[in-house]
Amino acid sequence: MKNQNVWILILVCVFVFGLFGLWQFNLYQKLSKTGASCGGDWSYNVQCPIGSYCCSLKQGPLVGGLCKPFIFSILDIFSKTKPENIYKDTSENIPEYMSSVGMKGAKTYKTSNFTLKYPLDWKVSAKQIESYNSPTLELTKENGKEIQGGYELPQIWIGSFEIYSTSGAICANESYCEKADKISFSIKGKNYSANVFKRQLWEQGKFTGNYFYVFQIGSNSELSLIPSKPTITGQFETMVEKSEIESILSSMNY
């Protein structure tokens, strides 16, 4: 009789854990599709669904995070759904040098449907933004300036809009973000421009009074016609860096 009770208890536990696992898996699939943001930017008061928690993106202050089921780490290991790699080339097989066509002495990043030229003292890699389906190209300058949040100056992202916050806001939670300039470039003979905003540098838990500049274009423009529908986000500190970014973006071809 005692053994029978033990087996009944085991079966009940298996049933309960099975239901819990199924519930968590369904929640995992739902949150993976919606990418619900929490804990930052415009989502301070967002409550994650029952059975999930707010997982920080660890991208600096005020950025926030995404809602994840309690056993996200386990489910993510066994998930068979992997992002589609639209960018066939990655940082490991980028050509080290290509003859100067268009940009003098430039390197070229090339895939089956996308080409980008950049100066010899810049570098490019493919970065996976957690809740974005496709890899995002990240361009930085050799010996660039490191700033709070794991960013650099100058820096360009081509792909996901979730760079500074889960909502895509380029000024994150700063109470005042002054419009300071415009950035302009041309792709295949068509001109594009975007407002440039001034943001304060954040160091050691406080604003420093020093500034850098940010811009974003693509989510609501004809750039969305480019394969992988990229949003272009960039940041820089000097006008020389701005000019370099304009040249890089003007070299895009698809």
| Dist CA 156 CA 138 (whole Å) | 6
Q: Does 196 lie in the same domain as 119?
A: yes
Whichever domain contains 161, its CATH number is 3.40.1000
| Dist CA 60 CA 172 (whole Å) | 10
Q: Span 67-72, mean pLDDT?
A: 84
pLDDT at 83: 41
Q: Does 241 lie in the same domain as 182?
A: yes
Q: Does 123 lie in the same domain as 71?
A: no
Starting at the edge strand that comes first in sequence, how are the strands of the sheet with 37-38 ordered?
37-38, 65-69, 52-56
For residues 106 and 157, the answer to whether their CB atoms sit within 8 Å is: no
More confident residue, 6 or 233: 233
Q: Look at residue 71 and tell me if it is in a domain.
A: yes
Q: Does 63 lie in the same domain as 163?
A: no
User: Which domain range does residue 16 map to?
Assistant: 3-78
Q: Look at residue 72 and tell me if it is in a domain.
A: yes
Q: Look at residue 240 and tell me if it is in a domain.
A: yes
Q: Look at residue 117 and tell me if it is in a domain.
A: yes
Q: Does 148 lie in the same domain as 30?
A: no
| Dist CA 148 CA 123 (whole Å) | 20
**pLDDT tops 90 at residue 227:** no
pLDDT at 175: 64
Q: Look at residue 88 and tell me if it is in a domain.
A: no
For residues 151 and 60, the answer to whether their CB atoms sit within 8 Å is: yes
More confident residue, 238 or 47: 238
pLDDT at 121: 92
pLDDT at 4: 77
User: Which of 35, 60, 78 is the last residue in one of the domains?
Assistant: 78
Strand partners, 137: 126, 158
Site of tokens 């016609």: 225
pLDDT at 189: 81
pLDDT digits (tens, 9 = 90+) for 10-43: 888 888 888 888 898 888 877 766 556 677 655 5
Q: Does 119 lie in the same domain as 69?
A: no
Q: Look at residue 181 and tell me if it is in a domain.
A: yes
Q: Does 233 lie in the same domain as 115?
A: yes
| Dist CA 100 CA 94 (whole Å) | 16
Band of the pLDDT at 84, cuts 50, 70, 90?
very low
pLDDT at 79: 59
Q: Span 73-89, mean pLDDT?
A: 54
Q: Does 152 lie in the same domain as 231?
A: yes
Domain count, the chain: 2
Q: Look at residue 233 and tell me if it is in a domain.
A: yes
Q: Look at residue 86 and tell me if it is in a domain.
A: no
Q: Does 172 lie in the same domain as 68?
A: no
Q: Span 123-147, mean pLDDT?
A: 84
pLDDT digits (tens, 9 = 90+) for 137-189: 899 999 899 988 789 999 999 888 888 877 778 887 666 688 888 998 888 78
Q: Does 122 lie in the same domain as 68?
A: no
More confident residue, 26 or 1: 26
Q: Does 223 lie in the same domain as 130?
A: yes
Q: Does 148 lie in the same domain as 31?
A: no
To the nearest 10°, report the CA torsion of 224, 230, 231, 232.
Answer: -120
Segment among 68-72, 109-113, 173-177 with least mean pLDDT: 173-177
